Amino acid sequence: MYRLAPSILSADFSQLGAQIQAIEEGGADIIHVDVMDGHFVPNISYGAVVMKSLLGKTKLPFDVHLMIEKPDQFIPDFVTDNTEYIVVHAEACTHLHRTIQLIKSYGIKAGVALNPATSLSVLDYIFEDLDLVLIMSVNPGFGGQKFIPSALDKARELKKMKEERNPNLTIEIDGGISLKNVEEVMEAGVDMFVAGSAVFGAEDIPQRCRDFQAILKK
Ligand code: DX5
Ligand code: ZN
């Protein structure tokens, strides 16, 4: 099952509730929540308060992408009834195994994100513990960047690892996804597709979600 995960980083925050309704109406599967601390990435976005303002306003689950240093101390803030995944960056965790176990201790699915230059080999000894691996197809920090093609090779390699070692793993991709490249990315083995500017930059947001779903569901 392929899932569409619009990133609210590109939403109009002055009307976040309405924007969430728009993606829900268009058939989005999960809300991608980009949290940036100005240290791990050169940008600051928003924190748990903004995410929690959506509680009770949407049935969609949250996919929390923490682009922050030392995530352990903030993980409990992001545990809510809607939180399906919490994803940390391998590059930001000194004790990645411990962090994964911490996320799972709350009954939340655990994911690890890898920057474009980071090898899959960093996952070797925790691979069976993971519910999700997020392949960054841009350098994290900003929406609206160009897709880095080497992410496709990484996705194919990860798909092989998944089949051999962890068949229930979800492969997620994030950055530069559009209606033009989503099909090629699907073919590389990706299950879950983050799209920020491609969804919220559209004039008709529900229709843009339906356009994505028409490709993902065929
Ligand atoms: C980038 C974020 C992405 C971003 C994607 O650091 O992790 O989720 O919002 O935006 P687009 O789809 O515009 O590349
Ligand atoms: Zn993201």
How does pLDDT run across 168-187, given as a tens digit for each residue? 999 999 999 999 999 999 99
CB-count burial class (<10 Å; 0-12, 13-18, 19+) for 4: buried
What is the reported pLDDT for 201? 98
Ion ligand 2: residue ranges with CB closer than 5 A: 34, 65, 174
| Torsion angle defined by CA atoms of residues 159, 118, 146 and 218, in that order, rounded to the nearest 10 degrees | 10
* pLDDT tens per residue across span 187-216: 999 999 999 999 999 999 999 999 999 999
Mean pLDDT of 40-66: 98
CATH of the domain at 154: 3.20.20.70
Is the pLDDT assigned to residue 62 strictly greater than 90?
yes
Q: Within a 10 A sphere around the Cβ of 210, how many other Cβ atoms?
A: 16
Q: Within a 10 A sphere around the Cβ of 147, how many other Cβ atoms?
A: 17
CA 194 to ligand 1 centroid distance, Å:
7
Atom number, ligand 1, closest to the C-alpha of residue 137 = 14
Q: How far apart are CA 191 and CA 172, in angstroms?
A: 6
Q: 192 CB less than 6 Å from ligand 1?
A: no
* pLDDT tens per residue across span 66-88: 999 999 999 999 999 999 999 99
Number of structural domains found in the chain: 1
What is the reported pLDDT for 13? 97
Q: Whose CA is nearest to atom 4 of ligand 1?
A: 143
Cα dihedral sign, 167-169-173-178: positive
Is the pLDDT assigned to residue 218 strictly greater than 90?
no
CB-count burial class (<10 Å; 0-12, 13-18, 19+) for 29: buried
Q: 196 CB less than 6 Å from ligand 1?
A: yes
**From the CA of 200, which ligand is nearest?**
1
**From the CA of 141, which ligand is nearest?**
1
| Mean pLDDT, rounded, of the chain | 98
Both tokens of residue 209? 């979600």
List 29, 34, 37, 131, catalytic entry: 34
Q: What is the domain extent for residue 155?
A: 3-216
Both tokens of residue 83? 């939180």
Contact indicator for 6, 26 with CB cutoff of 8 Å:
no
CA 38 to ligand 2 centroid distance, Å:
15
Q: Active site includes 191?
A: no
Is the pLDDT assigned to residue 131 strictly greater than 90?
yes
Cα separation of the two ends of the chain: 11
